[in-house]
């Protein structure tokens, strides 16, 4: 590793207390389970408990990183989300407080649909370039919520991914250049007055594929690596089959054969966690990276391609190289436990949680104790969200 390397030093994720298996959703709405398991590539989706939200998941994801590395050098926290809880205050300030981070830090929230964690990562890399002793905590945290009985319902989920960005990273060195793409499209959006997203499903898939082309074209023009140099590709995964669609599209665009075996080799290990968690918006591509590092054979020195997409739309293609010794830093057992220890719920409980929202009349409210995570959203009091360790 060159001494000017900057990248992801640690990576940890957290998800929710509850899980809804797609078999339960299929039994309710009469859908052939093949559509969910094979057609969109999803087995289950994480469902937040009444006392969980983007802050509790973000703090749960970041706590093991702070426990391992300490907080002294963390002078910046960037929280990326598209399911924000306040129009003014960054959710990251609550996380900063729950984790006991030093007051000598800046905290900010970033938004551009599912893309913004990548903007946060690039911002973090810029800060570390300026001062190599500086470490940045980047957290992506989201709850994906569509209307009940809509086509989007099967592509919900929730999770947070936390990354420590530093010089001489232990996991993945992030490279220059990036390929960038922005187009003003209305494929998926959520006006401030809505709790669920609006989406044009087919338009969103084609907007994503256009963005793959655009970001790759710019990446190539900026002098990036050739397609054949990558051993795996982490795509944003609104549902895991989308990563396969995107990679097939990229291979075709570059004039390569879209061989099924080759696509599976490049993608399969990145989808293990997302197939069980569902869409975690900003966190999804970084859960894909965790899945790849945790589940693939040795990737030392290998190049990984990243395609980050956020509806609306902005996309970025960039490369990372896996650092020797990375395996000793992985959190495989904790990641698998986060998935297997979720509690399956029936359709009635899922519907109750989906329809539940904190009162917006300014009244006070106590949340029932449900989470098994380290932090909980305890109450709303005097227009303030009250968080506490569990
Ligand atoms: N067995 C096997 N496969 C089956 C099947 C069966 N019994 N029945 C259907 N299928 C297949 C279909 O052939 C189809 O596969 P292809 O796409 O390869 O043709 C797949 O299952 C899905 O079937 P439909 O297209 O009929 O499904 P749908 O109309 O219910 O919509 C969806 C699917 C558009 C993804 C919808 O769930 C949705 O709107 N989701 C939210 C939007 C979304 O995720 N968009 C992705 C791009 S946008 C983005 O990435 C940002 C973001 O995070 C939201």
Whole domain around residue 255: which residue ranges? 6-389
Q: Which of 82, 109, 153, 316 is catalytic?
A: 82
Report the pLDDT averaged over residues 344-350: 98
Look at residue 59 and tell me if it is in a domain: yes
pLDDT digits (tens, 9 = 90+) for 10-56: 999 999 999 999 999 999 999 999 999 999 999 999 999 999 999 99
Look at residue 311 and tell me if it is in a domain: yes
pLDDT at res. 362 = 82
Mutating to test ligand 1, I would choose from 204, 206, 242 the residue with most ligand atoms within 8 A of its C-beta, which is 204
Report the pLDDT averaged over residues 324-339: 98
82 is catalytic: yes
Structural tokens at position 123: 């911002």
| Residue 136 parent element (H or E) | strand 135-144
256 is catalytic: no
Average pLDDT of the residues of the chain: 97
Q: Which of 114, 247, 249, 354 is catalytic?
A: 114
What is the spatial distance between Cα 237 and Cα 286, in angstroms, rounded to a whole number? 10
Look at residue 201 and tell me if it is in a domain: yes
114 is catalytic: yes
CATH number at 377 reads: 3.40.47.10
Look at residue 11 and tell me if it is in a domain: yes
Number of domains within the chain: 1
Phi, psi (5° rounding) for residue 345?
-120, 160
| Contact of 40 with 241, CB cutoff 8 Å | yes
pLDDT at res. 288 = 98
| DSSP code at position 175 | P
Pocket flag, ligand 1, residue 235 (CB < 6 Å):
no
Secondary structure class of 72 (helix, strand, coil) = coil
What is the spatial distance between Cα 77 and Cα 97, in angstroms, rounded to a whole number? 11
For residue 357, pLDDT over 80 is answered with: no
What is the spatial distance between Cα 373 and Cα 205, in angstroms, rounded to a whole number? 34
pLDDT digits (tens, 9 = 90+) for 110-142: 999 999 999 999 999 999 999 999 999 999 999
Look at residue 1 and tell me if it is in a domain: no
| Residue 163 parent element (H or E) | strand 157-167
- 188 CA from centroid of ligand 1 (Å): 14
Q: What is the DSSP string of 286-350?
A: HHHHHHHHHHSSP-TT-EEEEEEEETTTEEEEEEEEEPTTGGGG--HHHHHHHHHTSEE--HHHH
Mutating to test ligand 1, I would choose from 36, 201, 243 the residue with most ligand atoms within 8 A of its C-beta, which is 201
pLDDT at res. 356 = 83
Report the pLDDT averaged over residues 170-181: 98
How far CA 347 is from CA of 19, 157, 294, 312, 328, in Å, comes to 11, 15, 31, 32, 40
Q: CA angle at residue 256 from 244 to 181, to 5 degrees? A: 65
DSSP β-bridge partners for residue 163: 11, 138
- Bridge-based pairing of strands 188-189 and 157-167 is unpaired
- 150 CA from centroid of ligand 1 (Å): 12
pLDDT at res. 194 = 92
Q: In whole angstroms, how large is the CA radius of gyration of the chain?
A: 20
- At residue 1 the predicted structure's pLDDT band, cuts being 50, 70 and 90, is very low
What is the spatial distance between Cα 181 and Cα 316, in angstroms, rounded to a whole number? 6
Which residues have CB under 8 Å from 378's CB, separation 6+? Answer: 51, 366, 367, 386, 387, 388
Tokens 């009469």, residue?
A: 30
Report the pLDDT averaged over residues 211-219: 98
pLDDT at res. 186 = 97
Structural tokens at position 295: 């589940």
* pTM of the predicted model as reported, rounded to 2 decimal places: 0.98
Whether the CA torsion 90, 92, 116, 36 is positive or negative: it is negative
Report the pLDDT averaged over residues 95-122: 98
* Shortest-distance atom of ligand 1 to CA 310: 51
pLDDT digits (tens, 9 = 90+) for 228-282: 999 999 999 999 999 999 999 999 999 998 899 999 999 999 999 999 999 999 9
pLDDT at res. 232 = 98
């Amino acid at each position: 590793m060159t001494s000017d390397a900057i990248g992801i030093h640690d990576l940890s994720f957290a998800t929710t207390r509850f899980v809804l298996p797609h078999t339960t959703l299929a039994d309710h709405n009469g859908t052939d389970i093949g559509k969910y398991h094979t057609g969109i590539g999803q087995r289950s989706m994480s469902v937040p408990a009444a006392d969980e939200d983007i802050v509790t998941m973000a703090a749960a994801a970041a706590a093991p990183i702070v426990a391992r590395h300490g907080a002294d050098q963390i002078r910046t926290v960037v929280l990326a989300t598209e399911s924000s809880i306040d129009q003014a205050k960054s959710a990251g300030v609550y996380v900063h407080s729950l984790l006991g981070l030093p007051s000598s830090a800046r905290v900010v929230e970033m938004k551009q649909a599912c893309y913004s964690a990548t903007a946060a990562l690039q911002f973090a890399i810029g800060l570390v370039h300026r001062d190599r002793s500086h470490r940045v905590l980047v957290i992506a945290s989201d709850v994906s919520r569509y209307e009940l009985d809509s086509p989007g319902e099967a592509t919900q989920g929730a999770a947070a991914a936390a990354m420590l960005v530093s010089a001489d990273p232990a996991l993945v060195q992030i490279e220059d250049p990036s390929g960038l793409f922005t187009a003003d499209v209305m494929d998926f959006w959520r006006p401030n007055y809505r709790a669920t997203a609006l989406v044009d499903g087919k338009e969103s898939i084609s907007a994503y594929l256009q963005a793959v082309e655009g970001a790759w074209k710019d990446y190539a023009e900026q002098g990036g690596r050739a397609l054949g140099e990558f051993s795996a590709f982490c795509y944003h995964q609104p549902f895991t089959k989308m990563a396969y669609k995107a990679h097939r599209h990229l291979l075709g665009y570059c004039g390569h054969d879209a061989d099924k075996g080759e696509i599976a080799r490049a993608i399969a290990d990145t989808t293990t966690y997302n197939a069980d968690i569902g869409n975690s918006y900003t966190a999804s591509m970084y859960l894909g990276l965790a899945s790849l590092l945790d589940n693939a054979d040795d990737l030392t020195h290998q190049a990984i391609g990243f395609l980050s997409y956020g509806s609306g739309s902005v996309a970025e293609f960039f490369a990372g190289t896996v650092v020797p010794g990375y395996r000793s830093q992985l959190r495989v057992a904790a990641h698998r436990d986060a998935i297997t220890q979720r509690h399956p719920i029936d359709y009635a409980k899922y519907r109750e949680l989906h329809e539940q929202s904190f009162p917006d009349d300014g009244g006070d409210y106590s949340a029932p104790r449900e989470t098994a995570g380290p932090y909980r959203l305890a109450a709303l009091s005097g227009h303030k969200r009250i968080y506490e360790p569990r």
